[in-house]
Chain A
Amino acid sequence: DVKVTQSSRYLVKRTGEKVFLECVQDMDHENMFWYRQDPGLGLRLIYFSYDVKMKEKGDIPEGYSVSREKKERFSLILESASTNQTSMYLCASRNTVSTNEKLFFGSGTQLSVL
């Protein structure tokens, strides 16, 4: 089975800190994604990557950046964390055989910015 691992389940940071959220997948998937999940808003795409060093903005990229130096690892970076970035962050991956390939998700990181 595909495994998508997010480094932290819970994280508490201070306003202004630089925050790294790490995600690793073990199935050689080309595509990796970062979503943000908020109650009443569903999942919103922050960034995705379709290859090493390649990235594309999603619907809400402001305040975030990403890094993909190796195929299996996709990092989400909050350059200067703010309280409105308190949220659940979900990483996902999938292969690119066809558009209807399912996403494999990590278990999420609940980030609190104080």
Chain B
Amino acid sequence: AQTVTQSQPEMSVQEAETVTLSCTYDTSESDYYLFWYKQPPSRQMILVIRQEAYKQQNATENRFSVNFQKAAKSFSLKISDSQLGDAAMYFCACVQGGSEKLVFGKGTKLTVNP
């Protein structure tokens, strides 16, 4: 069975600084996909970034990038130039290829200090 572990229940960062959120996962499959979702206080979950396991290149989306270490089964999220609007719960998730069952981590609450 898949598992996703987020070891940091809470993190904080100063506005304009960089922060990295950690995520490790465990799967026996070679075909899988990884995601970071953001849940602001409005509760509307939105996709931040996704990574296909077969791609070696780390995904980037504007100020958001990942450090995908396949051998270590690590998938950390880096947020550069942090903004107040980045304050939210962040969830790491994994799904095996061909499956519908997306498995989420327990989440990391990010606070951005002005």
Size category, B interface: 20 to 34
Chain B CB within 8 A of A61 CB: no
Q: Which residues of B contact A99 (CB under 8 A)?
A: 33, 95-99
Whether the pair B106, A105 counts as a contact (CB closer than 8 A) is no
Size category, A interface: 20 to 34
- From 61 to 109 in chain A, residues with beta carbon under 8 angstroms from any chain B beta carbon are 88, 90, 92, 99-100, 102-103, 105-108
Q: Mark A16-38, 1 if CB is under 8 A from B, else 0.
A: 00000000000000010101000
- From 30 to 64 in chain A, residues with beta carbon under 8 angstroms from any chain B beta carbon are 31, 33, 35, 40-45, 48, 50, 56, 58-59
Whether the pair A40, B33 counts as a contact (CB closer than 8 A) is no
Whether the pair A105, B100 counts as a contact (CB closer than 8 A) is no
Main secondary structure of the interface of A (DSSP, over half): strand
Main secondary structure of the interface of B (DSSP, over half): loop
Q: Which residues of B contact A88 (CB under 8 A)?
A: 43
Seen from chain B, the residues whose Cβ lies within 8 Å of a Cβ on chain A are: 6, 9, 33, 35, 37, 42-47, 50, 52, 91, 95-107
Pairs A–B under 8 Å by Cβ, sample size 20: A40-B9, A42-B91, A42-B105, A44-B104, A48-B100, A50-B100, A58-B101, A92-B45, A99-B95, A99-B96, A99-B97, A100-B33, A100-B52, A100-B95, A102-B50, A103-B37, A103-B45, A103-B47, A107-B42, A108-B43
Seen from chain A, the residues whose Cβ lies within 8 Å of a Cβ on chain B are: 31, 33, 35, 40-45, 48, 50, 56, 58-59, 88, 90, 92, 99-100, 102-103, 105-108
